[in-house]
Structure 1
Amino acid sequence: MNSNQDRESITVKYLTKGHTHMSADGSHGNIEKSFKKIKNIYDFTDYKECLRASRKDIEVIQVVPVEKRIWEKKKKIKMELIMLADLVEVKFLKNKSIMLYKKSFKDRYHELDFLQKRYKPDQLPKLTTRGRGKRTAKKAEILKKLVPLMPSNRKTFWQDLTENESSVDLITGGQFDPC
């Protein structure tokens, strides 16, 4: 947010249960039907094919690993643990090192100072192109339980999956810990 652009703020609103109709709902319904038609989805290639088959006008673009920063947790002050699933809106202000957030759309903004005071935007962490990966134990579990059920031409995706012990499970451990 701290750039030379004219924007004064960036606001991100997250969908909540019972949201209103969106133009993408029809596409999502077609994708669900496509998944149900395919008996087994073994790997990412199968997944992309399901998306492609769902509608004539869908172009599937695979995002490839790109350079990203390796950010380290350095803040030592204990703060309230904020669960990402509880947030409905976040806002970032130009030239400010805080995040404003809401847990309800009717709520007022709460302020979270999550950057170190001595943070210098011109001194960024090192870059990596390494994928997120899975923890070794999780990959071993997949290889033991799921891969034997797959045709041999679909096993490579799982066997070549990047291992990363610091990878957090996005289903069971997907929380935002600012401290």
Structure 2
Amino acid sequence: MKVSLLPVLPHKAAIFTPRLIVFNETFAPLIRKGAQRGREKPLAILWHEGIAGRDAEDVAATFWQYLKENRDKREITIYADNCAGQQKSWVFATVLLTYIQQEDNATQKITVKYLESGHTAMSADAAHQVIQKKMAKAQLCDYQDFVSVVEDSGNRVRTMKADDFFEFEDGISRRKLTLLGKEGMRPHLRDVRALQVRRGDDRLFVKACHTAKSWRGFQLLKATYNHSEPPKQRTTPRGVNKQKIDKLCQYLLPLMPHHKRPFWLQLQKEHARTVRDLAQ
């Protein structure tokens, strides 16, 4: 994931004024060292803090979207960084176990491999680098400017709306984890190097080492959790903290062209007085 701030303006006031946080979760095809990028473009899934945050369920929604984009593939392998709790949580594991059982995809197996510490270079990093170079040369007044830069950087873009996010649950039973712990068999997420889910199987398969030949399967779902049911969609956007969007509009709006101000005025109109500012 890459986090950026909007607007990007050549004015001192833009540095000292709280700005809108925008997110880019990029899914890039593997590129071997020394090889050139293939025909398949990276998929950049974009949203901003007025739509959703960056909690585990928010990031999991982007993985859900990516999996839907690849619904015809029978096996999917994702390489993920090992430093983000959003991609290594029981909520995320629950989402994978739920998606693989849905009838609207043909996927039979999903594997997530976490990069080892010290080997964190990813194909997505190259895509983010190109975007950053273009952003450094551009003046980005609103969200559409940001979307355009990401598209012009050679990416496929999917902009998320409020109803693209879900009220994902943590369906993992703590009682089952405790019982496994007493037997010395409890899987700890910090030790997991790979996760796998399989259609028709409600177990979560894990590896503590990438070179391990076999997977360990654990039945961890709560008895009351029905992973065959699709998750509940959200109906309203998160909204931006009122104090933050008021300051942004007061100090930065006069520095923008008139035709790029409606985006910010709409955010100000739809502010959320009590929502937390993600920058704090």
**What is the CA-CA distance between 1:89 and the residue it aligns to?**
2.8
What is the distance in 2 between the residues matched to 1:160 and 1:104?
A: 51
Conserved? CA contact 1:12–1:91, under 8 Å: yes
Quick one: percent identity of the two aligned structures? 17
Partner of 1:156 in structure 2?
A: 265
Q: Give the match's secondary structure for 1:50.
A: helix
Match of 1:30 in 2: 130
User: Structure 1 residue 90 and structure 2 residue 187: aligned?
Assistant: no
Partner of 2:236: 130
Deviations 1:90-130 (A, max 9, x none): 21123232323456645786655442124334555644433
Q: Deviations over 1:66-111 (max 9, x none)?
A: 4655344576636589669x86532112323232345664578665
Q: For residue 221 of structure 2, what is the aligned residue in structure 1?
A: 115
* Structure 2: distance between partners of 1:164 and 1:151: 20
User: How many residues are matched?
Assistant: 162
1:19 Cα offset (Å): 3.9
User: Who is 2:113 aligned against?
Assistant: 13
Contact 1:48 1:60 in 2 (8 A): yes
Contact kept? 1:31, 1:50, Cα under 8 Å:
yes
Shift of 1:11: 0.5
Alignment partners' CA distance in 2, 1:49 and 1:74: 38
RMSD: 4.5
Q: Which moved more, 1:119-128 or 1:89-98?
A: 119-128
- Unpaired segments of 5 or more residues in structure 1? 173-179
- Once residues 170 and 224 of structure 2 are traced to their aligned partners in structure 1, the CA distance between those partners, rounded to angstroms, is 14
CA gap 1:9/1:28 in 2 versus in 1, 3 angstroms: same
Q: Going by fraction, where is helix more abundant, 1 or 2?
A: 2
Counterpart residue type for residue 129 of structure 2: G
In the aligned structure 2, how far is the partner of 1:110 from the partner of 1:164? 47
Match of 1:100 in 2: 205
Q: In structure 1, give the amino acid aligned to 2:205.
A: L
* Corresponding residue for residue 242 of structure 2: 140
TM value normalised by structure 2:
0.41
Q: Residue 54 of structure 1 is aligned with which of 153, 164, 169?
A: 153
The Cα offsets for residues 108-167 of structure 1, whole Å up to 9 and x where unpaired, read as: 866554421243345556444333x25xxx613422443433225152353255749799
Higher fraction of strand: 2
